[in-house]
Amino acid sequence: MALFALALASCARPVTPATPPAPAGLERFYGQRLSWGPCAGLATNGGDRAAFADPALDCARLQVPLDYAAPGGRGAQIAVLRHRTPAHKIGSLVINPGGPGVSGMGVAARLSGSHFGAEPFDLVGFDPRGTGASTPHLDCRGDVDVVPNALQRFDTDPSSQAVARTEAISRESAEQCVRGSGADVLANSGTRDVARDMDVLRAALGDQKLTYLGLSYGTLLGSTYAEMFPRNVRALVLDGAVDPRQSYPDEVVAKWAILQHAFEVFATDCARRPSCPLGSDPAQATTVFQGLVRPLIDRPLPTNDPARALSYQDVITAMHFGLYLPEHWPALERALTGLRAGDGSALRARLESGGGGPFNVIRCLDGARISDHELAADLDRRKRAAAPFADPGRGASPALDTCAFLPVTPTLQPHTPNVSGLPATLVISTTGDPATPYQSGVNLADELHAGLLTVENTRHTAATQGVPCVDDIVYSYLVDLKLPPPGARCTPPDRK
């Protein structure tokens, strides 16, 4: 492709900035040399095992302190995967796919066979501390499942008895996190800790400056790194932005509002077909959906797994993740058709785990904690108003979630980034993104004095999706540090 030729031509101009010094007391971590070897032993699921067998990939473990305030104490190991490039190398492109807690190793392995693997960077992914193949692990699962936080949860019963039951589960979930993980691991697993790990990784990779692509939550990690190490940055692409200024309640409400919009776009697309389970009138889709799922509050639906009936919360969680990407919508439509016929098996099969374990702990450390019942009830009311399709219709609940009971002190709070000396940065924001509001990207670009690329689409994030308009701009920036002109926009041909 023409862009690849451009990238190769650009590689003839090596970047040789001064190497940043290691922070005092951390010299042995910054000076380590990674011992690369086969990746197969670091795979944590079947899909990764197949991908990690590629001989073009190699893996290592990065040594970091568990607590950066006590670097002589207990250590942690960050699992790292690299796809080596045969091109004239500019350096490493480090990727974080979001979550928080999603494996960067798995994503880097899958992208190694794409155009990203052909560019003049070593493609590098890592599993953030406590997650995936990194050790020690955040283990918050036991006999009691972790109750998802307010980003996913809708409590269906506001009665005092139900609130007490919900909070008992949340309290036990928090205690399981402490038992399974250890209080020291919980306390040192926030975004600021991962950003410090990224700077150690940069040095261990031999890169004088960091080149980084962060998606979704990965934008918060990127902007946090930019605040902590602005002079160690070569290039940052932040796609699907989390606005660091936004309070946790405001973030939750904004996300449910755009999810309602995604539901309405999905319902409009569905209504074109006579078999649509939400009916032929998109204006009535919210009401139809409520009628379909609210009976599950009292009577969960049996599935083909006798031990796992389909609950109201299961459906809301499946919808939450199913609406992220338009290519998931046909399967979601079929699953809702099954639900209308009294079969919840397809929806149960689509259910993804996104609210517990590392996700919750990291979010709690990043300030997602409400410990006041009145504030919890107010947030629940605001969520229901923002996303009526998912309103159980039984009044707002003041129940506190797991964050309120975890014995950790948040290490990141809403704030306006204070960045000095940051080079030109690229923010990408999608107008109909169902997970991160478009305005959050606009705000982040303004806060970082960054270039902004607007993508007209209804999907979560735009980079790495094979959209030529987006990829051309991203590559031009990553290789030549050239930002798009003000007001740049892309409209993918498959836009929904």
pLDDT in tens, 460-488: 899 988 889 999 999 999 999 999 999 99
Say if 23 falls within a structural domain.
Answer: no
Q: Are residues 231 and 257 in the same domain?
A: no
Percent of the chain scoring above 70 in pLDDT: 90
164 and 281 within one domain: yes
Examine residue 273 and state whether it is found in any structural domain, yes or no: yes
Same domain, 177 and 206: no
Within a domain: residue 142?
Answer: no
* Whether residue 101 sits in one domain with residue 77: yes
pLDDT of residue 240 exceeding 90, the answer is yes
CATH assignment at residue 450:
3.40.50.1820
- Clarify whether residues 232 and 308 are in a common domain: no
Does 199 fall in a domain? Answer: yes
Q: Is residue 253 part of a domain?
A: yes
User: Is residue 93 located within the same domain as residue 229?
Assistant: yes
Q: What is the pLDDT of residues 59-76, one digit of tens each?
A: 999 999 999 999 999 999
Range of the domain at 461: 2-18+29-137+189-246+415-490
226 and 318 part of one domain:
no
How many domains, the chain?
2
Domain end position, chosen among 405, 425, 460:
405
Q: Which of 384, 405, 426 is the last residue of a domain?
A: 405
Is 410 contained in some domain? no
Looking at residue 102, what is its pLDDT? Answer: 86
Quick check: is 148 in a domain? no
SS3 per-residue string spanning the chain = CHHHHHHHHHCCCCCCCCCCCCCCCCHHHHCCCCCCECCHHHCCCHHHHHHHCCCCEEEEEEEEECCCCCCCCCEEEEEEEEECCCCCCCEEEEEECCCCCCCHHHHHHHHCCCHHHHCCEEEEEECCCCCCCCECCCCCCCCCCCCCCCCCCCCCCCCHHHHHHHHHHHHHHHHHHHHHHCHHHHHCCCHHHHHHHHHHHHHHCCCCCEEEEEECHHHHHHHHHHHHCHHHEEEEEEECCCCCCCCHHHHHHHHHHHHHHHHHHHHHHHCCCCCCCCCCCHHHHHHHHHHHHHHHHCCCECCCCCCCCECHHHHHHHHHHHCCCHHHHHHHHHHHHHHHCCCCHHHHHHCCCCCCCHHHHHHHHCCCCCCCHHHHHHHHHHHHHHCHHHCCCCCCCCCCCHHHHCCCCCCCCCCCCCCCCCCCCEEEEECCCCCCCHHHHHHHHHHHCCEEEEECCCCCCCCCCCCHHHHHHHHHHHHHCCCCCCCCEECCCCCC
Q: Is the domain of 174 the same as that of 270?
A: yes
In a domain, 80, yes or no: yes
Active site residues: 216, 433, 460
pLDDT band at 494 (very low <50, low <70, confident <90, very high): low
Does residue 175 share a domain with residue 79? no
pLDDT digits (tens, 9 = 90+) for 117-153: 567 899 999 999 999 999 999 888 754 444 444 445 5
Residue 154 has pLDDT above 70, yes or no: no
Indicate whether 356 and 268 sit together in one domain. Answer: yes
Arithmetic mean of pLDDT over the chain: 87
260 shares a domain with 165: yes
Both 264 and 348 in one domain: the answer is yes
* Domain stops at, among 376, 405, 434: 405
